[in-house]
Amino acid sequence: MELNVKSGFERNIAVQGLKKKIRVKVLKSDLTVLRELGQKLKPVQKIIFRSRYGNLLGLLEIEVQEPAITALAQYYDPPLRCFTFGDFQLVPTFEEFSQILDMPTNNMIPYQHLEQPFSMYTLSEIMKISVKDLRKEFLELYDIKGFVLSFLERHLCRLCEEESWDAYMDVLALAFFGVMLFQRLIVL
């Protein structure tokens, strides 16, 4: 085994080249409401939900490790959208995300955002809500457009009472993805 010990001068130069440590505050979302909403699905509906959206329900049970997220955030490179460790870049592939979510990628085309605006009418059809009511709940905060989670939770309760399970599953998936990607606002 070889041990390379640098002189004090060389060590100071190496330390000066280090990246500044950034402060990260990990926000833990209260997922109890989403867990309860996920448990309202009957066994057959859970199977259908899993076939459509993979293991989203299972992700709710994973405990967030704040120190790990804080440590990884130090290496995240926003312009490249990956983790950079020295000269090595790390980013999960489409296939790795597929394994994490337990969602097969057979015959699936990756999503390619083409700056096309979504249709409020199409969204209202999927969510089983009038366009007028949907527009009332649509928010724009800085450059982010979307819905707050509390609106989706109220709407899910309404869909459950109406037993509109297809729309319920779609809105539940939208809420899950929103919580994972954006803490306070569900973005479209």
Q: What is the dihedral of CA 159, 164, 168, 170, to 10 degrees?
A: -140
The total number of structural domains in the chain stands at 1
Whether 5 maps to a domain, the answer reads no
User: Phi/psi class of residue 114: alpha, beta or left (left: φ > 0; alpha: ψ in -120 to 50)?
Assistant: alpha
Whether 6 maps to a domain, the answer reads no
Whether 156 maps to a domain, the answer reads yes
Note the pLDDT of residue 127: 92
Whether 90 maps to a domain, the answer reads yes
CA–CA distance from 76 to each of 70, 72, 175 (Å)? 10, 7, 25
Whether 53 maps to a domain, the answer reads yes
Q: What is the 8-class DSSP label of residue 3?
A: -
Kindly tell me the sign of the dihedral angle through the C-alpha atoms of 63, 66, 69, 71.
Answer: negative
Whether 7 maps to a domain, the answer reads no
Please state the length of the chain.
Answer: 188
pLDDT digits (tens, 9 = 90+) for 117-172: 778 898 899 999 999 999 998 888 777 778 888 899 999 999 999 999 999 999 99
DSSP, residue by residue, 93-109? -HHHHHHHHT---TT-P
Reported confidence tier of residue 183, pLDDT bands at 50, 70, 90: low
Whether 112 maps to a domain, the answer reads no
> Distance between CA atoms of 28 and 64, rounded to whole angstroms?
8
Note the pLDDT of residue 10: 45
The tokens describing 6, both together, are 């640098």
Query: Among 38, 178, 166, 47, which residue's Cα sits nearest to residue 102?
Result: 47
Note the pLDDT of residue 142: 76
pLDDT digits (tens, 9 = 90+) for 71-91: 888 888 877 777 888 788 777
Q: Can you give the residue range of the structural domain that contains 35?
A: 22-104+117-187
